[in-house]
Amino acid sequence: MAAGGGSDSAAGLAKVAELRAMHARLLGDRSLQFDFPGAAKPPQLNEPEWLQALGRWIAGVTKWLAPYAVDLFWVGVAAAVGAVLFLIAREIWGVRFARRRRGAVRPRPADWRPETWKARALLEDADRLAAAGRFDEAARLLLTRSIDDIEDRRPRLLRPALTARDIASLDALPAAARSAFAHIAAAVEHSLFGGRRLDAETFARCRADYEAFAFPQVWA
């Protein structure tokens, strides 16, 4: 038993010595850091006097309002609800007023009459194109000039997004002018998008429609 106990003690001492040696090597390793010095304290900010005074004032106001916080909250809620109701009522009233105003306004005839020499000069240009067999271009020329005539007689009526069909349906135009313009627009639409070339008969109808569209009696 004594011999066995001695061998165990020697083995234990050997292990302790081995652990000490390993610990010494670990401490000697410069790639490892074992000391962690405390982080430096951040520099103290020197707040200006006016900022400190503002902070004290805000703190005082907050402390004074604290007992009334619940009441102030409900006052704010009531004000927000009132503002929403006011906006809704204003929109409803504005829509009703706009409808009433639109119903009261009646389209008035144009005060300005087109100069017939411009329309006749256009017809001469279109006739020259038609004489050369260029009926599609002649009809497009009539349509383009018709749009120019509308812009001259009804400023701010047309918008860039309007198509020829939209223009033909505008209530601001006289009924006869709308009908004539719609016929020209339909012929040009068939030519451009339908792939159907216009003939002399179709151009003749467009020419007659432009005469009905352009001359003063239609706009009276």
Summarize pLDDT for 4-49 with one digit per residue, the tens: 556 677 777 788 888 888 878 777 777 776 666 666 676 776 778 8
Portion of the chain with pLDDT greater than 70, in percent: 71
Assign 3-class secondary structure to the chain: CHHHHHHHHHHHHHHHHHHHHHHHHHHHCCCCCCCCCCCCCCCCCCCCHHHHHHHHHHHHHHHHHHHHHHHHHHHHHHHHHHHHHHHHHHHHHHHHHHHHHHHHCCCCCCCCCCCHHHHHHHHHHHHHHHHCCCHHHHHHHHHHHHHHHHHHHCCCCCCCCCCHHHHHCCCCCCHHHHHHHHHHHHHHHHHHCCCCCCCHHHHHHHHHHHHHHHCHHHHC
CA 50/CA 98 separation, integer angstroms: 54
What is the spatial distance between Cα 129 and Cα 14, in angstroms, rounded to a whole number?
118
pLDDT at 87: 87
CA distance 207 to 130: 10
Q: Output the pLDDT for position 48.
A: 80
Handedness of CA 185, 187, 191, 194 (dihedral sign): positive
* Residue 219: pLDDT over 60: no
d(CA 58, CA 37): 40
In this model, does residue 96 exceed pLDDT 70? no
pLDDT band at 63 (very low <50, low <70, confident <90, very high): confident
pLDDT at position 107: 47
Centre a 10 Å sphere on the Cβ of residue 113 and count the other Cβ atoms it contains: 12
Q: Which residue has the tokens 């105003």?
A: 101
Taking the C-alpha atoms of residue 187 and residue 206, their distance in angstroms, rounded to an integer, is 8
